[in-house]
Each structure stands twice: as C-alpha cells, then as structure tokens.
C-alpha cells in the first residue's frame, strides 16, 4: 500500500510503532522495520546520548530498513540532555524522528539541516497545525483512546481524525486505539495516511518486556484502563492495577491539593518493575483502551502481515461489495 507516509519514510506498509518508554529498544524497532513498518527507538529510555548512539548502532545490525528515534520533550525541572540526544541522532545518520510532548520548534533547524523527516505526535488539531507551521513533515494524531498521554481535550479519534483532515496539508497517521486491519481501513477512511500503534506492539513475541505484561494485555478488556494525574494536568492512560487504585484513591482524597510527591510511589520507578520484573501491581504504566482488541501474542511480522491482509480484504471485498450494491441498485 502506498500513501504519503510510506513515501515519506521509505517504508512498505503505512504502520508506525510509536516510541514507548522501556519497550522501544532495538529489538522492538528492528522487528517492526524488518516487517515493513517504521520501528522507533525511544531516545530517553537510553538515559544518555552515548547509550542512544550505541542503541542505534545495535538496531542497524538487526535491520537494514529505515527506523526512527522518538524524542519526548518533557516539562522537567532538570531536563534531559536534549542537545546531546539530537546530536547523537544526527551523527548516527537516522533519517526519521518522532517528537512528542512539548513543541519541537527549537530543534527543527538542526533536524531539517540533517535531512531528517520529523513526525510530531499531538493530541489536538491546534497542536497539529502548529507542527505543520514549524515545518514538521507529518503528524501522528493521538486520540483520547491512546495509551500514554492523551492531553486534556478528550477528543476521540472518530472526531479528531476527520477534523485533522479538514485542516492539515501535511500527511498524518492515526494514533490511539489502532490494532488491526479494521483500524487501518477506518483510519484511511477518516483521512489519515497510515496508523501508529503503541500498546498493540507490546503484545508481540519480539517486544523486549516481561511475559507478564503481554499476558496482562491479552487478558485485559477495553474497560480496564484508567486516567491518572488528571488533577496535575498531566493525564496518562494506564492499565488498572492495585498501585493505580491506590493512586486514584489519593486523587479522590486530596483533590486539587495533590502534588506529584503524593503519588510518586505509584508512578516513579514503575517502568523497570513492570517491564523488567513483571510486577504487575507496581503502579501506572501507559496502556491504551485497545487492550480490549488484543487477543494474542504473534510475531511482529505475523501481526503486520495480518493487518495488511485484513485491510486489503475489507477494501477489496466487504467495502467493494457494499459500493457495488449501491451502484447496482
Ligand atoms: C508502555 C508505553 C510507553 C509509552 N511511552 C512513550 C514515550 O516515552 N514517548 C512517547 O512519545 N509516547 C509514548 N507512548 C505512546 C505511544 O507512542 C503511542 O502514541 C500510543 O501508545 C498510541 O496509542 P495506543 O497505545 O492505543 O496504540 C507510550 C505508550 C505505551 C503503551
């Protein structure tokens, strides 16, 4: 399938794997790229620019296909070494960057100078337009369903994607709630030119995370995510567990007096506990409502091939039949 997204990134299928903290290692990114999508290494997970350089080199040994790096710009008192990470990306010759969080404007000249394609992930039409205005090549439009940070507007993809299509000139992918061929065809119908998946890619053989996480995703339903940190205006969609219940109880009790320190035990240091040790009650980790659509743990290639075959069948059979019926009537 050819779209402006496959052309932009030089990939076979219009499927991107979004950056995922402590999931987006070389194993994950290379598996997605080898299967014809765009795999993404999560920059900040590497901790230092030096480690990111090594991870990019490791990924190169696992794939000769294009892959990218995610750079998440967090509001932090002591920010990570962003200049160092940007330099590491440029010097490693990576040609695709997924930015997220704060506006990446400051880094655009350096990235564009290096010939890097930038896809910015945002949760609103106004931020998408801003991304277009500052020279991003594409946008990943992240609906309210998404795992991770859906923003504070709460607009689901059935509205957000066609609104983005009404306003944007640059291509965009649908992000949040995407799982299968139905998602891809729906995303295309709503104006997107591909899709970005996070949660779905975690439940694959190659995802370098504890088996308990994959099992939890297969067991979870669409009712099992919760929104945390809304009172701090840093809303995150996570899979429910005992730690999350404790956190939500604090939010109820403390109301608008709550501070980050109050909930630190349920959010700080949780990723290593979950992803490496499989301690599933440790606290909040990003997970989308799409968990309800995850019923197995295939290889990444099986997943992507299945998505493309299903999308093709929907377009050429089911939808063609419906259109044919209308023409015949
Ligand atoms: C475990 C996990 C960690 C994530 N970490 C990041 C991150 O560090 N930076 C980022 O931009 N997005 C992050 N995301 C968001 C994904 O890149 C993607 O936008 C999101 O998962 C899409 O929604 P979906 O989960 O419904 O597919 C994360 C998502 C998950 C599930």
The DSSP code sequence of 190-237 is: TT-SSEEESHHHHSSSS--S-HHHHHHHHH--TT-EEEE-GGGT--EE
Q: Separation of 320 CA from ligand 1 center, angstroms?
A: 34
Ligand 1 pocket residue status of 287, Cβ below 6 Å: yes
Q: Which ligand 1 atom sits nearest the alpha carbon of residue 101?
A: 11
The maximal CA–CA distance of the chain, rounded, in angstroms, is 65
Residues 165, 39, single domain; the answer is: yes
Residues 192, 262, single domain; the answer is: no
Lookup: tokens for 218: 């297969």
Ligand 1 pocket residue status of 177, Cβ below 6 Å: yes
Q: Is the dihedral of CA 83, 85, 88, 90 positive or negative?
A: negative
Residues 192, 222, single domain; the answer is: no
Indicate whether 317 belongs to any domain: no
Indicate whether 181 belongs to any domain: yes
**End-of-domain residue from the set 173, 208, 243:** 208
Ligand 1 pocket residue status of 156, Cβ below 6 Å: no
Residues 22, 46, single domain; the answer is: yes
Residues 192, 256, single domain; the answer is: no
Residues 50, 109, single domain; the answer is: yes
**End-of-domain residue from the set 164, 181, 208:** 208
Indicate whether 323 belongs to any domain: no
Q: Separation of 200 CA from ligand 1 center, angstroms?
A: 10
Q: Which ligand 1 atom sits nearest the alpha carbon of residue 287?
A: 31
Residue with the two structure tokens 């880094």: 107
The CA R_g of the chain, rounded to the nearest whole Å, is 19
Domain enclosing residue 77, as ranges = 4-208
Give pLDDT, residue 156: 98
Indicate whether 10 belongs to any domain: yes
**How many separate domains does the chain show?**
2
Residues 242, 181, single domain; the answer is: no
Give pLDDT, residue 208: 98
Indicate whether 173 belongs to any domain: yes
Residues 164, 96, single domain; the answer is: yes
Give the Cα separation of 211 and 219 in Å (integer).
12
CA angle 39, 83, 142 (to 5 degrees): 40
End-to-end CA distance of the chain: 30
Q: How far is CA 147 from CA 179, 235, 284, in A?
A: 12, 11, 11
Find, among 284, 173, 204, 247, the residue nearest to 27 by Cα. 204
Burial class of residue 323 in the structure, from the number of CB atoms within 10 Å of its CB (0-12 exposed, 13-18 middle, 19+ buried): exposed
Q: Give residues with Cβ within 8 angstroms of 146, minimum separation 6.
A: 123, 175, 176, 177, 198, 237, 288
CATH code at 144? 3.20.20.70
Residue 320 parent element (H or E): helix 320-328
Q: What is the pLDDT along the chain (329 residues), one digit of tens a residue?
A: 999 999 999 999 999 999 999 999 999 999 999 999 999 999 999 999 999 999 999 999 999 999 999 999 987 778 999 999 999 999 999 999 999 999 999 999 999 999 999 999 999 999 999 999 999 999 999 999 999 999 999 999 999 999 999 999 999 999 999 999 999 999 999 999 999 999 999 999 999 999 999 999 999 999 999 999 999 999 999 999 999 999 999 999 999 999 999 999 999 999 999 999 999 999 999 999 999 999 999 999 999 999 999 999 999 999 999 998 776 66
Give the Cα separation of 58 and 66 in Å (integer).
14
The predicted model scores a pTM of: 0.97
Residues 110, 251, single domain; the answer is: no
Residues 114, 54, single domain; the answer is: yes
Give pLDDT, residue 327: 67
Indicate whether 297 belongs to any domain: no
Give the Cα separation of 102 and 109 in Å (integer).
16
Indicate whether 256 belongs to any domain: yes
**End-of-domain residue from the set 208, 235, 251:** 208
Give pLDDT, residue 326: 72
Indicate whether 96 belongs to any domain: yes
112-146 burial: b if 16+ Cβ within 10 Å, else e: eebebbbbbbbbbbebbbbbbeeebbbbbbbbbbb
Residues 188, 260, single domain; the answer is: no
Q: Quick check: helix, strand or coil at residue 173?
A: strand
């Amino acid at each position: 399938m050819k779209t402006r997204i496959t052309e932009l990134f030089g990939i076979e299928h219009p499927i991107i794997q979004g950056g995922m903290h402590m999931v987006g290692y070389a194993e994950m990114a290379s598996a997605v790229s080898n299967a014809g999508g765009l795999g993404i290494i999560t920059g900040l997970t590497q901790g230092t620019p030096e480690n990111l350089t090594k991870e990019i080199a490791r990924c190169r040994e696992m794939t000769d296909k294009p892959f990218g790096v995610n750079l998440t710009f967090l509001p932090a008192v002591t920010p990570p070494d962003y200049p160092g990470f940007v330099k590491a990306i440029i010097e490693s010759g990576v040609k695709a960057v997924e930015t997220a969080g704060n506006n990446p404007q400051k880094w655009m000249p350096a990235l564009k100078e290096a010939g890097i394609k930038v896809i910015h992930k945002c949760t609103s039409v106004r931020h998408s337009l801003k991304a277009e205005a500052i020279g991003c090549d594409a946008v990943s439009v992240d609906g309210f369903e998404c795992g991770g940070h859906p923003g504070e507007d709460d607009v689901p993809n059935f509205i957000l994607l066609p609104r983005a299509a009404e306003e944007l000139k640059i291509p965009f992918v649908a992000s949040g709630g995407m799982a299968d061929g139905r998602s891809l065809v729906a995303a295309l119908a709503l104006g997107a030119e591909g899709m970005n998946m996070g949660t779905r890619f975690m439940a694959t053989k190659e995802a370098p995370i504890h088996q308990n996480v994959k099992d939890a995703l297969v067991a979870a339903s669409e009712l099992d995510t919760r929104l945390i940190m809304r009172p701090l205006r840093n809303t995150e969609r996570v899979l429910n567990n005992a730690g999350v219940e404790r956190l939500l109880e604090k939010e109820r009790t403390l109301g608008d007096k709550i501070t980050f320190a109050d909930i630190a035990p349920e959010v700080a240091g949780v990723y290593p506990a979950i992803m490496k040790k499989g301690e599933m009650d440790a606290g909040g980790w990003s997970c989308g409502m799409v968990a309800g659509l995850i019923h197995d743990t295939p290889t990444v290639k099986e997943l992507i091939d299945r998505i493309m075959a299903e999308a093709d069948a929907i377009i050429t059979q089911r939808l063609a039949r419906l259109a044919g019926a209308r023409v015949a009537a």
